[in-house]
Structures are given as structure tokens and as C-alpha cells.
């Protein structure tokens, strides 16, 4: 069990005002691996006060000062990468290979991307010969992050806030808080001034709601469920603070007749990655009828041959889902799917040989229609739904028939078709033919997938106010 750490407020570790212990569960074993304290209103108020007091000084520091600290943070992050990999593997069940390469790697990748974007970023821009546009830090920011990609989301929020001169309070997920505690150590070791970065553990109903409604918080940046995003927006409305949301998804992966032979295989592998716990996972596979039977067979084969095992195991496999509540939700949705569609792989219960831990069988449903529950609900587990289509128009209609709009996928060797369909898909991101996005590419969605953009220049601008000043050059 890890040593218990408290809250990081105003540059030091402090005890909560009232003891309110919360057990952190290792999802591979269902055993307690750590204990944290959940904060209350007085803890939230103390963290906000520290951030408010630090804002005037930090917002006026030079770009070069902030760059130097961020570069030092990257050094600390890389030096202590193995600690971070171990923490995330334990708290949310990422297998060690995935944790080292992708969970930890996502944090360093984004931090490097922000440093590159920041290099030539200008906070003063000429509008006319006598008018200047200034970009200024928005103020005190509440950063509320999820459990599924902890460092990806903490870095995507904390680093641009730091770079632009904001101060902040981080509330990591109480289910997977160990990485947030460790990141707070990294910030302290890097030498950021007291009060710039603060961290309070808590749940959504407690600290999350308190931060969202706090009159001294100028912005909330949240990643999580659409349901929670709506609640945060309502709580923030009374003070008209800015709210940036990165929410759920139900991505369509459109496999056209001329797609690569292995398109269905790679799509299933991508769906099951991180045990299906990714908001941008391609969970709806739309396949042209000429390739449909082949795709169903290929995806089922991937599911049957995907090894599931404890996070502590070395090797390429998927681990458990994060919690008992998540496991139960996925099981209920699989049960609904069995009554709606044709089950071709996986199903209810744990995989053979695993009697403990929140392990889910990689599951594939065929003959799905877009009205079925498994095609509409964000399951957030290793569950794939395969839907046939006959024409380009039908594929686009099915892909867009969802309340979400985060990431869609296109597989075709026809360049004109690829571009044409990409323009018509209502989502913030469209990945084509397996080509990943570049460092600093804007991450975010349409509709109920949110309203913000993270990463690179767009991520920096998310934390800035725009000020027009006339007569700048006037004598």
C-alpha cells in the first residue's frame, strides 16, 4: 500500500480540515492499495484562496521564466517516469507495457508539444498599426480530471494553464488519485512558486461541485462524462465562469469497400485498447455490405485472441476496467446487447481463469442497428458493435446519428472519398486510414462530446482572455 499523502496547497502538503478517508482499490485484485482523504468546503476554499493570492504575481512573470519551469517539469517527469507508470497501473489497471509507453508517454508527449507551441506563441498581436490585441491569462482555473488517461488529461490542462500565467486547483479522480499526487510532487520538485498549482482530492459531488460553483474560480476545465459536464455547466452558470468540456464519445469507424484488408482487425484492436476505456474509441464499426461477413469474422477473432490479465503482468494484453461500478455497468449493457443483436465473441462474466478483479471479456456484437442500446450508449469497456451499410450516404447518416461528436474514423483508399466524408462527419476529429494526429493537434468534440479544444496552440488559447487596446502606437 502506498504511503498516504494529503493535499498540496500553497506550495506545501497539508492535512485536510476534517478526516474523510477513501479507499483506493486496485482493479486487478479488488484489494485496497492506498487511502486518500476527500476534501470539504474549507479545503476547497483554502486552495482557491492560495491560487487567487498567487495569480497577480504569476500572471506577470515573463514567458521565459515560465518556459524554464516547464522545461524543468518535463525533466522531472521523465526522470520519475517509472514511478508514474507504476502508480497508474495500480490505480486504474493499465498493464505495465501500456502504462509505460502510452499512459506515461501521453503526458511527456503533450508537455513537449506545449513547449514547442509556446516557443513562438505571442501574447501581443498587432490588429492595426495603432491597435493591439492582448491575450491575457483568464485567472484561477479549476481542473477536474478523469481516471482513464490520468496523465494525458492532467498535462493537457495544467501545463497550458501554467504556460499562460493562470493559477489552478487540480481535482483528480478519486478513483485513480495516485498519479495526481505524484504529479503534484513533480510540480513541487520543478520549483513552481507557491500557490500556482494546488491539488485537492475529492469526489464530484463534493470538491468538484464546490469548485464549479466557487465565485473566485474564473474557469473550469473538465474531462469526464456528459452527465457530469452538464451538471458542472449548470453549477458554473451563476458566476458566468468559462467552462471547457471534453466529454463522451461513440465513434464510428467507417470501413468502405476499398479499405485495406486488415481494416477491421486494426479497428477492433483500437476499440479494445485500454480495456475500451477511451472516449475516442471506435466502438461502432460501420462496414460496407461487401466486406461485412469478413469484418465480423476478423473482429471476433481479435476479441477471442486478446489476452486479458492483471495490470502487473508484463506483455501485450488488456487489463481490468477501473472499478466494480464500471464492471457492473458494462455487464448490464452486454446483457442488453445479447437481447438486441448477435453475439459473436465475448459476453457476460469474467474471462476464463480470472475469478477476481474487474476483468471484462472483449465482446463483439454483429447485426447491430443504430437504434440499439449498444450502438447509442457509451459503454466504456471492450465492447464493439458492427453495423452494415450499403452506400456512402447511409454510412454518413449512421455515423452522425448520435448525440456525441468526438472522433470518427474513415478507412478507404479513395482520397476524394476520404476527404469528402471527413468534411461531412459531425465530430471534432476524424482519423483516416490509421494515420494518428500530430503533436499539438486540437483535441475536442462537437455536440454532447464537449465544447473545448486541448493540445498545442489551441490548448494555450483555451486559458486566455482577449483584450483589444486602441491607440497603442499613438503619441
Catalytic sites, residue numbers: 246, 279
Q: Return contacts of 330-333, CB within 8 angstroms, 24+ apart.
A: 330/360, 330/379, 330/380, 330/381, 330/383, 331/360, 333/373, 333/374, 333/377, 333/379, 333/381, 333/383
> Rounded to the nearest 5°, which phi and psi values hold at 21?
-70, 145
Cβ proximity of 448 and 292 under 8 Å: no
- The Cβ of residue 442 has, within 10 Å, a number of other Cβ atoms equal to 17
> Rounded to the nearest 5°, which phi and psi values hold at 373?
-60, -40
**119: buried, middle or exposed (CB in 10 Å: 19+, 13-18, 0-12)?**
exposed
Query: DSSP assignment, residue 10?
Result: T
Query: DSSP assignment, residue 308?
Result: B
CA angle (26 as vertex; 23, 32 as ends), nearest 5: 35
Distance of CA 381 to the CA centre of its chain: 15
Query: DSSP assignment, residue 99?
Result: I
**391: buried, middle or exposed (CB in 10 Å: 19+, 13-18, 0-12)?**
exposed
Cβ proximity of 299 and 266 under 8 Å: no
* Maximal C-alpha separation, the chain: 80
Count each helix (H run) and each strand (E run) in the chain, helices first: 16, 19
Compute the residue count for the chain.
475
Distance of CA 68 to the CA centre of its chain: 26
User: Which cell goes with 397?
Assistant: 447518416
The CB-side HSE value for 117 (13 A sphere, CA atoms) comes to: 24
User: Which cell goes with 73?
Assistant: 517539469
Amino acid at each position: 500500500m502506498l504511503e498516504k499523502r494529503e493535499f498540496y496547497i500553497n506550495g506545501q502538503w497539508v492535512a485536510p480540515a476534517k478526516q474523510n478517508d477513501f479507499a483506493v482499490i486496485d482493479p486487478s485484485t479488488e484489494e485496497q492499495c492506498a487511502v486518500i482523504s476527500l476534501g470539504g468546503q474549507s479545503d476547497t476554499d483554502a486552495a482557491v484562496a492560495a491560487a487567487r493570492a498567487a495569480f497577480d504575481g504569476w500572471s506577470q512573470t515573463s514567458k521565459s521564466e515560465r518556459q524554464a519551469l516547464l522545461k524543468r517539469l518535463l525533466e522531472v517527469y521523465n526522470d520519475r517516469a517509472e514511478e508514474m507508470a507504476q502508480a497508474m497501473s495500480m490505480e486504474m489497471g493499465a498493464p505495465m507495457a501500456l502504462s509505460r509507453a502510452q499512459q506515461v508517454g501521453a503526458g511527456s508527449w503533450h508537455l513537449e508539444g506545449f513547449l514547442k507551441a509556446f516557443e513562438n506563441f505571442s501574447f501581443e498581436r498587432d490588429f492595426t498599426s495603432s491597435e493591439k490585441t492582448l491575450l491575457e491569462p483568464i485567472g484561477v482555473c479549476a481542473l477536474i480530471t478523469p481516471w482513464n488517461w490520468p496523465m494525458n488529461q492532467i498535462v493537457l490542462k495544467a501545463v497550458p494553464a501554467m504556460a499562460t500565467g493562470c493559477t489552478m486547483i487540480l481535482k483528480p479522480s478519486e478513483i485513480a488519485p495516485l498519479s495526481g499526487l505524484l504529479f503534484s510532487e513533480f510540480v513541487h520538485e520543478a520549483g513552481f512558486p507557491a500557490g500556482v498549482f494546488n491539488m485537492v482530492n475529492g469526489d464530484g459531488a463534493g470538491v468538484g461541485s464546490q469548485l464549479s460553483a466557487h465565485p473566485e474560480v474564473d474557469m473550469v476545465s473538465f474531462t469526464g462524462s456528459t452527465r457530469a459536464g452538464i451538471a458542472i455547466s449548470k453549477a458554473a452558470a451563476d458566476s458566468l465562469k468559462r467552462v471547457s468540456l471534453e466529454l463522451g464519445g461513440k465513434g464510428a469507424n467507417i470501413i468502405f469497400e476499398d479499405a485495406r484488408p486488415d481494416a477491421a482487425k486494426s479497428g477492433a484492436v483500437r476499440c479494445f485498447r485500454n480495456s475500451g476505456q477511451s472516449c475516442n474509441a471506435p466502438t461502432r464499426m460501420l462496414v460496407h455490405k461487401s466486406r461485412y461477413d469478413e469484418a465480423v469474422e476478423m473482429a471476433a477473432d481479435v476479441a477471442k485472441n486478446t489476452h486479458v490479465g492483471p495490470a502487473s503482468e508484463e506483455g501485450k494484453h488488456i487489463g481490468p476496467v477501473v472499478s466494480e461500478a464500471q464492471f457492473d455497468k458494462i455487464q448490464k449493457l452486454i446483457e442488453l446487447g445479447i437481447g438486441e443483436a448477435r453475439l459473436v465473441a465475448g459476453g457476460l462474466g469474467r474471462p476464463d481463469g480470472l475469478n477476481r478483479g474487474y476483468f471484462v471479456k472483449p465482446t463483439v456484437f454483429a447485426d447491430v442497428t443504430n437504434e440499439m442500446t449498444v450502438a447509442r450508449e457509451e459503454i466504456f469497456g471492450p465492447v464493439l458493435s458492427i453495423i452494415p451499410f450499403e452506400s456512402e450516404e447511409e454510412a454518413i447518416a449512421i455515423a452522425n446519428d448520435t448525440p456525441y461528436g468526438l472522433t470518427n474514423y474513415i478507412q478507404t483508399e479513395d482520397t476524394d472519398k476520404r476527404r469528402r466524408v471527413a468534411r461531412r462527419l459531425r465530430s471534432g476529429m476524424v482519423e483516416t486510414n490509421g494515420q494518428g494526429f500530430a503533436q499539438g493537434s486540437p483535441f475536442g468534440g462537437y455536440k454532447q462530446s464537449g465544447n473545448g479544444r486541448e493540445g498545442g496552440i489551441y490548448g494555450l488559447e483555451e486559458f486566455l482572455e482577449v483584450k483589444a487596446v486602441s491607440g497603442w502606437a499613438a503619441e
